[in-house]
Amino acid sequence: MNQEIPKIYDPKEIEQKWYKFWEENNLFSPEDNSSKKPFTIVIPPPNVTGNLHMGHALDNSIQDVLIRYKKMQGFNTLWLPGTDHAGIATQNVVAKALKKEGKTKEDLGREEFIKRVWAWKEEYGSNITRQLRRLGSALDWTRERFTMDEGLSKAVTHEFVTLYNEGLVYRGKRLVNWCPKCGTAISDIEVEHETKKGKLWYIKYPVAGSQGPGVIVATTRPETMLGDTAVAVNPKDKRYKKLIGKMLILPLVNRRIPIIKDEFVDPEFGTGAVKVTPAHDPNDFEMGDRHGLPRINILTTKATLTFNEFAEEEKKEIKGLEGLDRYKARERLVQMLEEKGFLDKIEDYENAVGECYRCKSVIEPYLSDQWYVKIKDLAREAIKAVEEGEIKYVPDRWTKVYINWMVNLKDWCISRQLWWGHRVPVWYRGEETYVGEEPPKGDGWEQDPDVFDTWFSSCLWPFSTLGWPEQTKDLKTFYPTDVLVTGYDIITFWVSRMIMMGVHFMKKEPFHTVFIHGLVRDASGKKMSKSFGNVIDPLEIIDKIGADALRFALISLITGQGQDIKLTQDKMTEARNFTNKIWNVTRFILMSLDVAEGFGPSLNGDLKVAATSLELVDKWIISRYQNLIKEVTALNESYDLGEAARKIYDFLWGEYCDWYVEISKIDLYSEDAKRKEKALKVLLYVLEGTLRLLHPIMPFISEEIWQRIAINESKTNKRMKTIMLQEWPKVDKNLIDPKVEAEMGLLKELIAKVRNIKAEMGVQTKDIELMIVAPKKNEQETIAKGEAYIRSLAKTTKIEIVASLKKKPEQSATGVVSDIQFFVPLKGLIDIGKEVERLKKEEQNVSQGLERLKKLLSNESFVAKAPPEAVAKQKVQLKELEEKKQLLAARINDLGS
């Protein structure tokens, strides 16, 4: 066995070595013509413009855990990689690069600009895939896809043409969410609403032919009044009953507009009379439809004012506003209204403002021709798939979110006014329209300039990546996929649409489980954002502590309810320390080996040790390991990966390293070769099996250590020598022994309490005598079995076990474990007088601290005004001090008697 193991674990060198080995040996690819059951995950395709962020790191760590786990369970696994062309984002990135050259995309023209985007993609598009490799992702790179590669582009064209022929796609002039900066329509779910402080302007609209006061309307967007075609009031509002049906004069424009009644109007908003601008507000659009109102557009696609749809006499007073940006026009318009006596008043007002999720520009409702998918029937089938249990959300609470969203869906606007993306396969010639997968023959045809919404291509991802619409071998083998792993923020964007299209085109749900995880936030719970300056770069963390440590930190923070996780420096330090602990314990074991070359652990899960040679502690660690297999397997199956990671951590550090390894030193340092060999075999048996349990979470260090201890693998196993291809450990119920675990639990508690007393009394480095009073025979027998462990770990020279005691030993500290009492005589080990004096002084300080805290917590003003967490912290401190005072009193009593 190779005992040369470096003193310090170097993740960088080890991670590069093993990823190269896995990839070069095609260990990420499924087996051809395999009889094994397939298990498939498709990666949520990151944007080709992107770099790995903490959300990616969590999402892909989870997927990698599942894929590696299922591979070890004997499934034929496929984790399919790829990237999304990210229409708006990619176009903006390349446009910015052009700007530095002093050019615009229009200077190049559409064809040349698209060539530049492809060139950019070839140069920078593989950044994210290189970064995914650094994370350790077991993705089958031989099947990597891109949403605009030839096959996927054909799939998108086929999707549109099929939906069109089925009557599920139409073109309509409707209000859309328009981003003036990106220059395109975006869908409702791409609009983020944020509450902002603004103003409410009250404007007087005179009644036509009347000298009366007219009607005052309130608006948050005064510039849109130029497109007003009515003023609406609620029919039940008595204030305006006599005015309904009369005409008003639109200030500055002098357009005659009617006063209409509509139940949509809220009498409590403003004055109860609202302006109606059908071309620039979705509610007004619907109201305009109900009342047959004209739609007058006042904005260009760049959100500057245009009066192309105005009558000449309407432009006279407002000519100076044409061509102005919407906000400059607002400022000037308000000034004009005030000068002319039409402005009644201005109030401060907070309202929700829609912003583009990409560039944060304020969205304008804008009237334009767009392509839409009829959603109602598609949504009904997708809801049914979840309600009937064909698709399960984990955690289940997201089921309700999904169904509520689907029930209220509007038709999906799928066209975008961009150059980069899948071009709409529709051509026009005069009054003729042609829709097809191939361009029409003949002259004079012009293709629709729009491209599809990015989500229109990615909604096909689970099956287009496998070759659809062709009936490929991969499609037949790996569809439907198994699990979709994603954050809750794209249930509406992506998950719902994949289910709709999977059910519609494949007649089968695209996956059986949707595993929803929370978002990664900073230590205080804030969303990571460049503007907050709190972004943690996963690649920097990998450089500092290694990919395994980052993965473990993230996975161990996952909760069963899928809450957001707070990534702290302490958590990353803990994960790094865990990596070092595993490395150091392996190094200790390998350095202890001086037996023949043929010695090593069993790699089929069998323990190569005679049961008769096993002692209590050996049986205990084996039983605990078997329980660990059972627990981790069950937790993985229920997707509670965070708890599985925490169980492995607690076992490896808290039981294997802290207890078994320490106790095994008794045998390892003995002169008895058989005892030494037995200890090493148990150490290696448990370590090797636990490495297999750990491998999906921490693939690199588990592979490196497994390779160092698996010396007989090439002789005993036909599979390639890698932990990736080893079997997932199976529980041997015969090796689980609750009695042994209870006995060892008693000994552990006894040893821990003795060590605590020694530390409290300042004699932790000194050998002590120990008297144990155990009234029950079985307890006496257990303590006798573990006497060597107590001597070694508690540093005791003499242990006396008795059933009862008439008089307590003088000047001794005492402790209790269940109904067992133990005494540590301190005479001669410490200056009793000085120790009592020290303890009394400490007791006095604790009493003073208690008084201060009690006074503070009885102060009603403090409790009412202080943050709840501050009050809770003080209460915890109070409890700790009370316990400390009791302990000090007991110690003073022990030493005084």
pLDDT band at 897 (very low <50, low <70, confident <90, very high): low
Phi (first) and psi of residue 594, to 5 degrees: -140, 25
pLDDT reported for residue 596: 33
3-state secondary structure of 215: strand
Question: Are the beta carbons of 151 and 457 closer than 8 angstroms?
Answer: no
pLDDT band at 69 (very low <50, low <70, confident <90, very high): very high
One DSSP character per residue, 241-293 reads: TTTTT-EEE-TTT--EEEEEE-TTS-TTSTTSEEEE-TTT-HHHHHHHHHHT-
pLDDT band at 183 (very low <50, low <70, confident <90, very high): confident
pLDDT reported for residue 761: 84
Least confident residue range of 542-556, 607-621, 734-748: 607-621
Determine the average pLDDT of the residues in 202-231. 91
Other CB atoms within 10 A of residue 487 CB? 18
Query: Does 168 score more than 60 pLDDT?
Result: yes
User: Letter for the amino acid at 891?
Assistant: R
Determine the average pLDDT of the residues in 459-473. 97
Query: Does 472 score more than 90 pLDDT?
Result: yes
pLDDT band at 717 (very low <50, low <70, confident <90, very high): low
pLDDT band at 68 (very low <50, low <70, confident <90, very high): very high
Closest CA to 486 of 643, 644, 639, 699: 639
Residue 454's Cβ-count burial label (10 Å; 0-12, 13-18, 19+) is buried
pLDDT band at 211 (very low <50, low <70, confident <90, very high): low
Query: Does 610 score more than 80 pLDDT?
Result: no
Query: Does 715 score more than 80 pLDDT?
Result: no
Mean predicted lDDT score pLDDT of the chain: 91
Name, of 19-33, 356-370, 488-502, the range with top average pLDDT. Answer: 19-33
Tokens, residue 211: 């000298």
Query: Does 307 score more than 90 pLDDT?
Result: yes
Task: Give the span between the Cα atoms of 418 and 86, in whole angstroms.
Answer: 11
Per-residue model confidence as pLDDT tens digits over 520-562: 998 888 888 776 788 889 999 999 999 999 999 999 999 888 8
Query: C-alpha distances in angstroms, 310 versus 66, 285, 289, 314?
Result: 62, 18, 20, 6
Query: Does 617 score more than 50 pLDDT?
Result: yes
pLDDT reported for residue 607: 67
Name the pTM for this structure. 0.86
Pairwise pLDDT comparison (168 vs 209), residue with the higher score:
168
Per-residue model confidence as pLDDT tens digits over 560-583: 888 899 999 999 999 999 999 999
Determine the average pLDDT of the residues in 406-410. 89
What percentage of the chain reaches a pLDDT higher than 90?
73
Q: Across the strands, what pairs with 433? A: 428
Closest CA to 775 of 735, 742, 818, 823: 818
Kindly state the helix (H) or strand (E) to which residue 690 belongs, with its residue range: helix 673-694
Pairwise pLDDT comparison (737 vs 212), residue with the higher score:
737
Task: Give the span between the Cα atoms of 668 and 652, in whole angstroms.
Answer: 19
One DSSP character per residue, 310-371 reads: S-HHHHGGGGGGTT-BHHHHHHHHHHHHHHTT-EEEEEEEEEEEEEETTT-PBPEEEEEEEE
pLDDT band at 3 (very low <50, low <70, confident <90, very high): low
pLDDT reported for residue 741: 97
Per-residue model confidence as pLDDT tens digits over 796-848: 999 999 999 888 888 888 888 888 989 998 888 887 887 788 788 888 999 99
pLDDT reported for residue 818: 86
pLDDT band at 702 (very low <50, low <70, confident <90, very high): very high
Query: Does 282 score more than 50 pLDDT?
Result: yes
Determine the average pLDDT of the residues in 182-188. 85
pLDDT reported for residue 816: 85
pLDDT reported for residue 807: 84
